[in-house]
């Protein structure tokens, strides 16, 4: 485990999660930050994304969005339900997973955008 400049341990991400984080840092609607447990991103103060382990991400889509997209989400085999019905998890192991994460992050931003 690497350490931040102030000595706190940081999570080492897999190559595709690291690429996603690099790209998401350029999205103006997102506030992306490193935490002791990994990466977290928020929209207008609402958490919508956080890393889990080396290759996983949790995404706050909202229950209505998940219900609307449910057949397509579960058919992909890459999106999994979480204990909280407003969140889903994804394993980011390849390019299609990365593209799916970015697309669903865009949906989450829209779902949480003010106004």
- The domain segmentation of the chain, as residue ranges, is 2-112
Give the Cα separation of 113 and 79 in Å (integer): 22
Question: What is the residue whose two structure tokens read 């080492």?
Answer: 12
Task: Tell me if 50 sits within 8 A of 21, measured CB to CB.
Answer: no
pLDDT digits (tens, 9 = 90+) for 76-105: 899 999 989 999 999 999 999 999 999 999
Provide the pairing of β-strand 2-3 with 9-10: antiparallel
CATH, range 2-112: 3.90.1150
Task: Tell me if 74 sits within 8 A of 32, measured CB to CB.
Answer: no
Its pTM stands at: 0.88
Number of other residues whose CB lies within 10 A of the CB of residue 38: 20
pLDDT at residue 1, as a whole number: 46
pLDDT at position 36 over 80: yes
pLDDT at residue 46, as a whole number: 96
pLDDT at residue 11, as a whole number: 66
């Amino acid at each position: 485990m690497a350490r931040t400049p102030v000595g706190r341990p940081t999570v080492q991400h897999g190559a595709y999660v690291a690429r996603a984080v690099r790209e998401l840092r350029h999205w103006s609607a997102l506030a992306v930050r490193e935490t002791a447990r990994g990466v977290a991103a928020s929209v207008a103060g609402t958490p919508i994304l956080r890393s889990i382990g080396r290759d996983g991400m949790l995404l706050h889509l909202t229950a209505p969005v998940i219900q609307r997209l449910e057949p397509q989400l579960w058919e992909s085999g890459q999106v999994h339900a979480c204990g909280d019905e407003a969140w889903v998890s994804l394993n980011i192991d390849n390019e299609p997973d990365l593209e799916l994460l970015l697309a669903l992050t865009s949906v989450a931003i829209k779902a949480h955008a003010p106004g």
